[in-house]
A and B are shown apart, each in its own frame.
Chain A
Amino acid sequence: MLADIISTVEFNHTGELLATGDKGGRVVIFQREQESKNQVHRRGEYNVYSTFQSHEPEFDYLKSLEIEEKINKIRWLPQQNAAYFLLSTNDKTVKLWKVSERDKRPEGYNLKDEEGRLRDPATITTLRVPVLRPMDLMVEATPRRVFANAHTYHINSISVNSDYETYMSADDLRINLWNFEITNQSFNIVDIKPANMEELTEVITAAEFHPHHCNTFVYSSSKGTIRLCDMRASALCDRHTKFFEEPEDPSNRSFFSEIISSISDVKFSHSGRYIMTRDYLTVKVWDLNMENRPIETYQVHDYLRSKLCSLYENDCIFDKFECVWNGSDSVIMTGSYNNFFRMFDRNTKRDVTLEASRENSKPRAILKPRKVCVGGKRRKDEISVDSLDFSKKILHTAWHPSENIIAVAATNNLYIFQDKVN
């Protein structure tokens, strides 16, 4: 079912919950089992906690076009009470959902009976106080806010500010700042729409707030640039504070240079000192203090460089891969084709290619590193470039905030891998 294609994956701030959004507008939340002393070997597996329909398909009558219900992004709010809050968005509308547990319910109402029907007042002879009685645990999700009608173009990112009072939503040409309490207006903080749309050559591809400085955010573009903006400088942050761009390598120039330089994801490190960007063939780490080039560049699948025309023809070149940091910012991870995903250790400079597939993923099986063969001679376990399955793409991955647990979305399957160290 097409509707089951996972379109976003996100751990919450403690890693206790893992949310996925899919193409059908559904959100599924997994919760980690409490580790019990009795069952030591069940190391906290993730089970389904809640499922709800976040967005429905809509129809834009003005343009005669459907608005997809696909969930583009989910972002958790930090937990402030017993309930959990998350933002989920499709192309046009952001919603704030409250996910809460109910394990007690009141019984003994005076005016209503247990089924909720009104009692005949004539039969009421005594007054009683309702009491709370335990019930089976129920997890319910309720939409608390709907932030609509603020985006002409397709929303590609949402990011919660470190002040926990505001968040931003970014579409192809504009970024808006919202207050969680106010749904009928937002501030426009970036607008790159040209007066004449025929002059449009660049769009916004991703945006994120700094993890600690609530006035700072970055956004990336389809031309491979990143702009860092400070909201204190002006209300409309069209002028960047910093501009990150790597000069083009002339030996690698091709017709597709621009397209493969388009940044599909940008993420601050947990420390706030670095940003990581993903373009079609590489992942780059930038130091916020150095704008003229990244400090690290990792090749994700450089063997595709000679296949760019085919990938352009079949649209794969437009695939938007995401990238993630681990909790300590020492390892970065991103997806590739053939259900492969890659991890790069920034300290040891080692990298590994792993595959998310049913065959390889019996519980507690160890993942075997994979290798793509580019030269003539293919070794036994290697796979040749021409045998790669480009329909099996891993676009969305997530890393637990503190432990070595990763979630990998492979089309309509979710894989959760844990480190076997302990």
Chain B
Amino acid sequence: MLGKGGKRKFDEHEDGLEGKIVSPSDGPSKVSYTLQRQTIFNISLMKLYNHRPLTEPSLQKTVLINNMLRRIQEELKQEGSLRPVFPASSQPADSLSDSYREAPAPLSHPASPSAHPCDLGSTTPLEACLTPASLLEDDDDTFCTSPAMPPAAPARVSPPALPPEKDSFSSALDEIEELCPTSTSTEATTVAATDSPKGDSSESSLQKPEGLQEGRPDDSKLMDSLPGNFEITTSTGFLTDLTLDDILFADIDTSMYDFDPCTSTSGTASKMAPVSADDLLKTLAPYSSQPVAPSQPFKMDLTELDHIMEVLVGS
């Protein structure tokens, strides 16, 4: 699904992946695992909230998705309780952007982890990831659960609890800027200046991510507001303290949206509809007034996200 080149092999890490149990200490595999987990988490959230059916949603589906989210949150909570200092991103955007510029080049380069979205994890832990699920699946270590984390595991790449003094939201914006210097900087600064046409929601969404990122025992916030309105629809109840814009806002890494050659040249008309960035944009597009052009990913900008948040949360 990642282009027609030779199959990428994750050779150098394969021995760690035998039996499909990922050892938490295995660096890049752990990253991959965390990435996968975050992707699934995001997909699950979107499933619960993007769906406005005319008929009652299936209770079975809702329960299964909720169980998935709970499991992931349990894991995050466990990791959170073990977690150590979080390294400041010493390998900043440069190598990250390098790796993305490299990627469109020979995809047949098998050993290059640079083409691998896992790399996101090493420098921008978990600010990834509306990663196309299909990309993750090409990975040899198919989605796996690690058993209970041994306490010794440094778990470097757990959810973004950046040092409190750092305003992680603006640092995320910085990173985004570095990656997409042209389109995003203006928008980023616009939003940063809270000068958005959507007024309230963007302001609140600005403040909340900061509060959120401040320390991810906000996982506990998530835990508390665990689901539930099974009775009626699933539109309310899952995350009450936190609004959705925190999660979606904080986690969007537009570097993936720039990854155009990758998603567009995945020639094989795979009928499985992999979650390409395109698809994600299209999912969100109905809520926005402008058509979303895949070639300008970040046109689907922050103000439109506000609008979407309003629709999802406010209604």
Chain A residues in contact with chain B, CB under 8 A?
A: 60, 63, 65-68, 91, 153-154, 172-173, 197-198, 200-203, 205, 222, 250-259, 262, 305-316, 318, 386-391
Contacts and interface: CB of A to CB of B under 8 A. Distances in A.
B231 interface: yes
B315 to A, nearest CB: 13
A107 B134 CA distance: 71
A310 B274 contact: yes
Contact of A306 (B47, B137, B227): B137
Contact of A390 (B54, B68, B142, B271): B271
A309 B137 contact: yes
Interface in B53-85: 53-56, 58-61, 63-64, 66-68, 70-72
Contacts of B63: 200-203, 222
Nearest to A253: B145
B130 to A, nearest CB: 11
Given A201-B67, A389-B271, A306 B59 contact: no
B293 interface: no
Given A222-B64, A318-B58, A386-B1, A255 B36 contact: yes
A251 B63 CA distance: 25
Contact of B272 (A205, A305, A311, A318): A311
B143 A254 contact: yes
Given A254-B142, A310-B137, A63 B273 contact: no
A313 B43 CA distance: 7
Contacts of B226: 198
Contacts of B134: 309-310
B193 to A, nearest CB: 35
B228 interface: yes
B148 interface: no
Interface in B238-276: 268, 270-275
Given A258-B68, A318-B61, A310 B272 contact: yes
A386 B270 CA distance: 6
Contacts of B274: 310, 313
Contacts of B142: 254, 305-306, 308
Contact of A255 (B1, B68, B271, B272): B68
Given A203-B63, A307-B137, 6 more contacts: A198-B228, A255-B68, A255-B144, A259-B64, A259-B68, A310-B272
Interface string B72-101: 100000000000000000000000000000
Contacts of B39: 309
Contacts of A306: 137, 142
Contacts of B271: 386-391
B230 A310 contact: no
Interface in B35-56: 36-37, 39-40, 43, 47, 53-56
Nearest to A60: B56
Contact of A258 (B47, B56, B64, B232): B64
B136 interface: yes
19 contacts: A63-B232, A65-B56, A154-B58, A154-B59, A197-B229, A198-B228, A200-B230, A201-B66, A222-B63, A251-B20, A253-B144, A255-B37, A306-B137, A308-B143, A309-B39, A309-B136, A309-B137, A318-B58, A387-B271
A170 B147 CA distance: 36
Contacts of B275: 310, 313-314
Contacts of B232: 63
A309 B58 contact: no
B71 to A, nearest CB: 8
Contacts of A63: 56, 232-233
B55 A68 contact: yes
B133 interface: yes
Given A251-B20, A252-B20, A309-B36, A205 B60 contact: yes
User: Which residue of B56, B67, B136 has the most chain A CB atoms within 10 A of its CB atom?
Assistant: B56
B265 to A, nearest CB: 15
A12 B133 CA distance: 44
Nearest to B54: A66
B314 interface: no
Given A197-B229, A309-B136, A257 B145 contact: yes
Contacts of A91: 55-56
A336 to B, nearest CB: 14
A197 B226 CA distance: 11
Q: Which 3 A-B pairs have the closest CB atoms?
A: A309-B133, A198-B228, A172-B59
Nearest to B20: A251
A58 to B, nearest CB: 10
A284 B226 CA distance: 34
B283 to A, nearest CB: 10
Contacts of B227: 198
User: Which residue of B19, B64, B228, B271 has the most chain A CB atoms within 10 A of its CB atom?
Assistant: B64
A308 B274 CA distance: 11
Contact of A256 (B54, B56, B143, B230): B143
A262 B56 contact: no
Contact of B273 (A60, A198, A257, A310): A310
A318 B64 contact: yes
A200 to B, nearest CB: 6
Contacts of A203: 59-60, 63
A222 B60 contact: yes
A144 B272 CA distance: 45
B305 to A, nearest CB: 20
B230 to A, nearest CB: 5
A314 B134 CA distance: 11
A186 B34 CA distance: 49
Contacts of B21: 250-251, 253
A407 B68 CA distance: 36
Contacts of B37: 255
Interface in B219-236: 226-233
A182 to B, nearest CB: 27
B55 A255 contact: no
Contacts of A386: 1, 268, 270-272
A222 B230 CA distance: 15
Contacts of A201: 63, 66-67, 70
A313 B70 CA distance: 18
Contact of A66 (B55, B58, B70): B55
A256 B144 CA distance: 9
Nearest to A223: B67
A315 B273 CA distance: 11
A41 to B, nearest CB: 39
A153 B59 contact: yes
Interface in B5-30: 19-21
